[in-house]
Amino acid sequence: MTREIAYELAKKQREISVAEFFERNKHILGFGNPTRAIVTAVKEAVDNSLDACEDARIPPDIIVEIREGEREGEYLIAVEDNGPGIVEKHIPPIFGKLLYGSRFHAIRQSRGQQGIGISAVVLYGQLSTGKHAKILSKIGENEPAYLYEIAIDTQKNAPEIIRKEIINWDKKHGTRVEIWIIGDFSRGRRFLYEYLQNTSIVNPHAQITFIEPSGEKHVFERVTDELPKPTTELKKPHPHGIEMGTLLKMLRSTKARKLSTFLKSEFVSMGERTTQAVCKKADLDPNLDPKALTREQASRLLKAFKEVKIMAPPTDCLSPIGELLIKRSLKHETKEISPEFIVATTRPPSVYSGHPFQVEAGIVYGGNLDKESPVKILRFANRVPLLYQQGDCVTTIALSNIDWRRYGLEQRGGKGIPVGPAIFFIHVASTSVPFTSESKEAIADIPEIENEVKLALRECARKMQQHISKKERRKKTREKFVLITKILPEIAKKSAAMLNKPVPNIDGVITKIMDVVWIDDKIEYEKVKRLQTTLDGFDESRDYGCITKSKITIVNYKRKPMKFNLYAIIPPEAIVGFVNPKPEKIEKRYIKWNVPTLKPTQKIELYFELAGLNEGDFDENEIYVEGINPEYVIGANKWEGE
């Protein structure tokens, strides 16, 4: 009896196509409900467009159009770009075969790697509407444009070409994807708009046009023509990121005849000295044939990888946004709330489990933001917005574990998401972002990543707190300042005129009332025309640059002479021009002056110019003092060193 049952069950066993698997498990890919389906479909197509344009070094111009269909809940998702286009023979497998792509084996920062994204959208559209996807592609101005209508054979995980033709397309090059899906645009609109706006923030080099079913158009403009730094692919894995199964596979397939040669040729960061140290720690002969290693020997080798100090992998496989562009982009997309302060930072690269990663953070503070609501958190991974599963993400966990009360925000118990007029920006870039699930909406709680997120947020928070403190101290002293600089001198003049006596010296009264060193700063922008070289010689361009002019005024309102050092921080990518008076030194990140001894009520002005910035990049000076009690100073903070 059991024998018959076993044979009967055996008849039912068959191979499951990957397309069939996802056909029955749509939620895994982000199509769990009609609201998310709209966002996921657009996201996958936009990610592809951004990657293609960046690979071709073309500033992306992307059009996202949503149209209503004949059936209720049916929508056409159309995404068009100005990228390099797709070679004709690759169009069917890219859109009609799951697990087909060029990035899976590449060890570098990338938006997508599994080769599932856009083909999963085609599959979902086919399942939900029964309609086929249309792809239009052109690879050059003098090349034909190919239009494909494609379906997916789920049993074979292979593309079905329904129709193919050559058509005229008045575009030099690019790709247009049209897919019908069932979705809920009315509920998903807010998330879709937020996704596109956030994509614009984290991709400041892209212009994205969003056309709603009603015809309403939204343009998220690019704020820079500068494309992200190209990433260099790591050809070999790092020993810290290897697991036992992978190591055994590498040992069996290597062409190396010695273990030492295997380690140096198959892994990154393994030189002669490190190789010898690993072999010694694992108690293995460097001349051993790697193919002959037993599982127990491989286990010792794997353990030695973790115990020997191995240099971190190269980080040119990463392409961070940079603090200047983050700040510029945040300012552009939050201009309607008129924020009073924006700060951003880019942390140095770090490593977890052999995978390079880099954290960037920013804070938008004040303006029309609600003071009584929890702060808004913008989360990103490899320049892609993360809209869902906020509570499960390491970025949220790291933020919640910081005591924000010390930085001027409300937070009960010193834990949890703080309350206050702020927006937090967190971006994690890595060759392998450890997502919590296949839908890639939250980053796993990796201690190294959590620590870097905390360091980045605290760096921004300190500057925010300094801004708040500077603002509050200035506000408290402002009445005194107005009194002594405007009212008292006028009283002295009028009193002297009435009594027909000389104007009295009121310096003693002023210093007694103020008893501080007052530092004020003012920033102005001057547009300048730039010249471009043409074939005919020099031709005046319409392009305008900016000279940032900064003036720092220092007045000693103490009752005794004061002498100290002053530091003005230079924004990233800025070039220092004219400086007066001559500073003590100019470093990459700051200008330092030795402020001469100032007598009571004596004033001095420091002036410097910067090039390389756009108008609005530099709103207020970040000023520090050294050699004076910072409690005496209004308008600067204590210098803590480089």
In the chain the domains, ranked by start, together with CATH numbers, are 18-220 (3.30.565.10), 239-307 (1.10.8.50), 323-466 (3.30.230.10), 505-638 (2.60.40.290)
pLDDT given for residue 99 in this prediction? 61
pLDDT given for residue 115 in this prediction? 40
Banded model confidence at residue 107, pLDDT cuts 50, 70, 90:
low
| Mean pLDDT, rounded, for 609-638 | 87
pLDDT digits (tens, 9 = 90+) for 348-381: 888 888 788 899 999 999 888 998 899 999 999 9
pLDDT digits (tens, 9 = 90+) for 3-57: 666 656 555 555 445 555 555 655 555 677 888 888 888 998 998 899 899 988 9
From residue 107, alpha-carbon distances to 268, 319, 434, 447 in Å are 11, 13, 14, 22
- In this predicted structure, which of 131-145, 289-303, 322-336, 466-480 has the lowest mean pLDDT? 466-480
Of residues 331 and 12, which shows the higher confidence score? 331
CA-CA distance, 576 to 587, in Å (whole number)? 10
Q: Is 12 helix (H, G, I), strand (E, B) or coil?
A: helix
pLDDT given for residue 128 in this prediction? 84
Judged against a pLDDT cut of 90, whether residue 597 lies above it is answered with yes
From residue 635, alpha-carbon distances to 261, 477, 599, 625 in Å are 61, 11, 19, 10
Of residues 17 and 332, which shows the higher confidence score? 332
Judged against a pLDDT cut of 80, whether residue 404 lies above it is answered with yes
| Mean pLDDT, rounded, for 278-296 | 88
pLDDT given for residue 503 in this prediction? 77
Longest alpha-carbon distance in the chain: 127
Judged against a pLDDT cut of 90, whether residue 61 lies above it is answered with yes
Residues 470, 635 contacting (CB under 8 angstroms): yes
Who contacts 126 (Cβ-Cβ below 8 Å, separation ≥6)?
Answer: 132, 133, 151, 152
- In this predicted structure, which of 11-20, 216-225, 271-280 has the lowest mean pLDDT? 11-20
Judged against a pLDDT cut of 80, whether residue 86 lies above it is answered with yes
pLDDT given for residue 621 in this prediction? 87
CA-CA distance, 579 to 559, in Å (whole number)? 30
Radius of gyration over alpha carbons of the chain, in Å?
31
Provide the residue type at 363 as one letter.
Answer: I
pLDDT given for residue 483 in this prediction? 67
Three-class SS string for 452-494?
HHHHHHHHHHHHHHHHHHHHHHHHHHHHHHHHHHHHHHHHHHH
| Mean pLDDT, rounded, for 247-267 | 88
Of residues 484 and 224, which shows the higher confidence score? 224
- The fraction of the chain above a pLDDT of 70, given in percent, is 88
pLDDT digits (tens, 9 = 90+) for 108-127: 466 654 445 788 888 888 88
Of residues 440 and 12, which shows the higher confidence score? 440
Q: Is 133 helix (H, G, I), strand (E, B) or coil?
A: strand
Banded model confidence at residue 164, pLDDT cuts 50, 70, 90:
very high
pLDDT given for residue 542 in this prediction? 44
pTM greater than the 0.85 cutoff = no
pLDDT given for residue 5 in this prediction? 65
Specify which of 6-15, 76-85, 429-438 reaches the highest per-range mean pLDDT: 76-85
- Residue 394's nearest CA partner among 355, 446, 455 is 446
Three-class SS string for 379-408?
EEECCEEECCCHHHCHHHHHHHCCCHHHHC
Does residue 581 have a cis bond before it (omega within 30 degrees)? yes
Judged against a pLDDT cut of 80, whether residue 616 lies above it is answered with no
Judged against a pLDDT cut of 50, whether residue 101 lies above it is answered with no
Provide the residue type at 64 as one letter.
Answer: V
pLDDT given for residue 504 in this prediction? 76
Judged against a pLDDT cut of 90, whether residue 207 lies above it is answered with yes
Judged against a pLDDT cut of 90, whether residue 310 lies above it is answered with no
Residues 387, 195 contacting (CB under 8 angstroms): yes
pLDDT digits (tens, 9 = 90+) for 529-541: 655 444 444 444 4
| Paired residues of 342 in beta bridges | 364
pLDDT given for residue 216 in this prediction? 93
CA-CA distance, 610 to 78, in Å (whole number)? 44
pLDDT given for residue 571 in this prediction? 86
